Chains A and B, each alone.
Chain A
Amino acid sequence: MATSSVSKGCFVFKPNFKKRKISVPIEDYFNKGKNASEDSKLRFETYQLIWQQMKSETERLQEELNKNLFDSLIEFLQTSHSGLWKNSEDWSCEIKLREIPTAALILGVNVTDHDLTLRSLTEVLQNNVTPYVVSLQAKDCPDMKHFLQKLVSQLMDCKVDVQSKEKESVQVIQKNVHYSMDSLSAWYMSVTQKTDPKMPRKKRTFSSQWQSPPVVLILKDMESFTTKVLQDFIIISSQHLHEFPLILIFGIATSPVVIHRLLPHAVSSLLCIELFQSLSCKEHLTTVLDKLLLTTQFPFKLSEKVLQILTNIFLYHDFSIQNFIKGLQLSLLEHFYSQPLSVLCCNLPEAKRRTHFLSANQCENIRRLPSFRRYVEKQSSQKQVALLTSDRSLKEETQSLLENLHVYHTNYFLVLRCLHQFTSSLPKYPLGRQIRELYCMCLEKNIWDSEEYASVLQLLRLLAKDELMAMLQNCFKVFQSSSAKELGNTAKKIEEFLAQFQSLDETKEEEDTSQLQSKGLQKTDLYHLQKSLLEMKELRSTSKRQTKFEVLREQVVSFVDSLVREYLLPPDTQPLHETLYFSSAHTLRQHLNAAPRIALHTALNNPYYYLKNEALRSEEGCIPNVAPDICIAYKLHLECSRLINLVDWSEAFATVVTAAEKMDANSVTSEERNEVIQYPFKINSTTSKSSQPAVE
């Protein structure tokens, strides 16, 4: 069946039911693409496993991070209507009756993440506060009618799970009822009254607290609502507040000022607003990185460039955690898809087991790894032969290398955190404030070769005692929290340092007093005074280097330095790192942060980039006249200013194209010329597609 027609634009293809397969398993696509792929099934399974783990971990993190916010929100919701029903004769409550309790939830600019947050919020509220939670989006509610309609239909749905029987009758009403606040409150009364007798039987917490649970309305994107709808709704519902206990939650992306900009004073005075600030997305990112990448829990790692790209997209484009995780997913997929040895990218015991079953082909793959080759070259010649010829010894070696890699990572992250403790509070943050910046630098090269590192050491040498001690304390905690054996004595050493610092306090005072006493100035003549002053000066300059504290500080700094030099080797020095590290930053950038403009421009400007024909090779900025017509036309149009004359354009085009032909320009038959001249206008519509703003 053709997919072009002059009468319609949509073509449905529906294969017969008998013919249709149950559905091709996804794994098939994983291996078919590459003909010589090894263990593709296993790789795909590993991918799915790791991805599931990562996903659940991120969800858990999100929940954890939102917990504080949600707790305070719930508290607010619970208190807001509590006074309402108990002592309604109180005068202050009368006033409060008029005010709709409102929570303004500032979510930040990362709009894409809001959905997830609000969804979990809805869930939490439904479990803890009230079954009646409705969330509305601006695009669903262009006017009051739709607003109420959505509200009512969602409210009814909320109730469905409680009394499914009534659903049908409710829906019948729904069709006919003219939506109004009156009908809504009437409905509410009927529902609460009806359920009242049932309530005690239910074990939910909210039922015992309130006879009538409040209705929570979440406006997901407060900024994009029409002001009129909002205003009307608020005014109307404040009138009905006593019979319809409404609570509003505004999702705000920008700043709380927006409430007052959207709502005039008369309306906003009907609200009793409380502000809630959600977690900043940067913190969120740090936690995610911390828990997903800076840990040995997940074997998969990112190389420096990839990490840089992902964080750049995050910081410069959208601040969206969702997108960051999507990037992570893509890199995970790409890694398993393109690297046959990624089969070893799993937890250590499993990886060791898998090495046993590696095929001869895979062994060859291992030998081909650059990092492994480097490693082999360093070995004795006997071992080299063994590694290169015998699969058995290769597998054994691989196992031990994998274990080394694991140990390397354990130590690496500990030392990284430790170094971060030292650098994160230095003035001007030479190695970055966030651990991810430090991580990036350490991944890239030997950190101790960089200027920033040198300046860090210098700054550390200037630290005061209490600062240094605080840092050491933190480091001690970091090391203590881990169970790594090798670094166990490091923790001990830090403890010693701490003890020494403490003991310094007492000894230092004694020294000072003794020095002062011995150097107490006596009454002398000028010559002696000068002499003694000079002596003192000398003494001071020498003693400066000799203060116990300074010696100790120097020791600490060199200790940290030695730690860094020993453990923070960049991963590409480690044999077999290719199995765990995804390094193809190029593909990631292409797929996530593509630049269609550049692609179009390159295609038009430099066709050789795509069509590897020698005839098209040319110096910068020139196009041979054999190039595709569209390139020539584009080039000519670039020559022009903002507007272009079609005739001139076509004539110029003809000149360029005919210049290639040997014949005298005069001998070109009119028809051929016609053809050439007409040609650009066949293309014309296409160029205008690609370069419309330029041609106008």
Chain B
Amino acid sequence: LFWQTRSQDMSGPVTEDQEKLLDEALSVVKLQAFQMKRCLDKAKLMDALKHASNMLGELRTSLLSPKSYYELYMLITDEMRHLELYLLDEFQKGRRVQDLYELVQYAGNIIPRLYLLITVGVVYIKCSEISRKDILKDLVEMCRGVQHPLRGLFLRNYLLQCTKNVLPDCVEEEQEDSGSVSDSIDFVLLNFSEMNKLWVRMQHQGHTRERDRREQERRELKLLVGTNLVRLSQLDTIDVQRYRSVVLPAVLEQVVNCKDALSQDYVMECIIQVFPDEYHLATLQDFLQACAELNPAVPVKNILISLINRLSAFATRDGSNGIPSDIPLFDFFSEQIAKIIENKPDLSPEDLVSLQAALTGLALGVYKDREDYVDKVLETTNSGLDKLGRLDSPTKKSVSAYLLQNMLNNGTLVPSSEQVEQLLDLVRCLVADPGADAAAAAAAATATNSLGGDPGDGSANGAGPDSEADNEDLAEEQSLLGRVVHLFSTGPDLLDEQFGVLKTARRILATGGGRRVKYTLPPVVYQAYQLAIRFHNRQDSDDKWRKKCRKIFEFCHSTVCGLAKCELPNLALRLFVDGALVVDKIPFDQHDTVAYEFLSQAFSLYEEEISDSKRMTCFAAENHEPLRSQTVHAASKLLRKPDQSRAVAACAHLFWSGRPRELQGAEMRDLKKVGECLKRAGRLASQCMDAGLQAQLYTELVNYYLYFVLQSAGSNLDVSQLSSTAGQLLAKIREILSGLEPSADSEHIHKHFEATVEFARSQSASGDATIAGLLAQLEL
């Protein structure tokens, strides 16, 4: 006696379009389901069963992806409910179909047979609980016949769904025949371990190149396995005692033995989520023991963190009694975490830190009065992080960078020298790395040598961009470190301590070498400047502030000198100049000499190292004669004539708006010197070969002249000399412009010139008579 089933290719590769295959299967299902229901309406049970079997036969396919198979499964099980309801109805009316349980087992194919058997078995149970225990046992055993992972998983899921409300849930004494909760436990546990095995086995199916896809599919199916645990958690008679002695050991045994990372990860998480917190508390040791035995690829820390967080939440929840005092929760976890760290030398530092963070959370949440716990965690973390010494350099760096970033994000202040020292020690891979520097230098040297010699040498050619990338990384790390320096703060009141902090920071950071101090020391210096200002602001409460400021500037001076020696003249120059500006504002004893020292350092640097005239403007606010002449001197020594011209012209401002102390803050307005400067600039401009450039420079000069003429309006200074020179310049410009060939540059110069003339006109038109008179000399 055979039941007809549509013949299926059970092994074909998945080549055809899933959608098409699914549609075909679904339409067969709909047709068979329709006929099944029609037969049920006519009370032709046997025919209905035949159609049900045909419908279920669609689940024999190997062609569908898990997703499509799920869809098919859902439709079919939905239709199966009609059959179940019909049978229930018939049975309740007393029309028991003889031997139905045996009858459905005549089906030749195992998949339809077992689906039918489950359906009928559950109907039997629902009608009479007498044989419930045996039927459940029989069903779960018979399902062993389906060893195909996907089909087996869904079949067993069907078993689990159908038996949802019929599992015995009473203790042994009450019901002898119909089974007790221990039968339910056996039932679900067996189903669970079989499903887990199938799920694990799924990864070995098919070609290795589709491994990733299979992993994805497995992830999609995990809920099927987890449902078993959910079902267990719904059994009310499973008390803590039973959970500890029967349920958990079996689940853990299966999980540990399956050795599969994905399964272990999911099931452990699932255990945590589905069972009550009290149960976890009672079985902590077993659970944690199992965690230690998992596949090394399992992120145990996630499991632990999840558990710790859950228990922390439990303990602090309203209405909970907290963690029972007889359970040394904290000790358990800290021991286990220590063990895990010990057993897993390859545990990443991030994992280590996040584990400890969760533990801290527990200590803070549950044991509010036990500060020593937090201390303990921090201590363990520290010793754990010490092991970072064993890490390779990129990891170390990323950990350190993570740490620093975290500090920045949280604005964590580092309030003492000791802590600065500790912190910098922790991230010392960022602070200094002399070995690596030497290696990099050597590599660079090799690269340079071989670049010319052997173009075929790939490694040498690759060295360039590599080191560039390294430099970028370095810049990024060091800027981070530099930003953190700003967190070295003792607070608003402890200024002396702050100075100590800065000294410590410099001492350590200075070991970093030229490539690093570029980023790290300037913040220290600026911090120091700021500190000096703060001392100054608090001069009332600290009578030694002058001395202290001096000390600070000495400190800054030596720091910046250090930077200068590291071939960072630009930086040092800027720091000196900025320092001089700060000094200028703080009137401690001999601050003028300090400022002079700063600026002279700047000049010497400038002379020695700098060829970029753009720095010139820095000096515009100076107030010492030698400096001014030095500046002019320096300006005239610039390499290129146009730069010389512009610089010297800019120097004119020094003699105009400078505020030497002798004049009590008034501008000096040394018209003679200004005129000299401008004239000198004009001379320099005239030496330019390029006519266009010359015109440009002249135009700019005219602007200077105009400025000074306008500035001196209303004073008793005689600016007629200036005006006439400007007039001559204008004539020269016109002459040059007329001979200039049209181009983008000359166009630009033209415009600039026109604008200048226009401005002068507008001034003469609107201004008072003096200005107009003066401007008239411009021969507009």
A and B co-occur in one complex: no
A contacts, CB < 8 Å to B: none
B contacts, CB < 8 Å to A: none
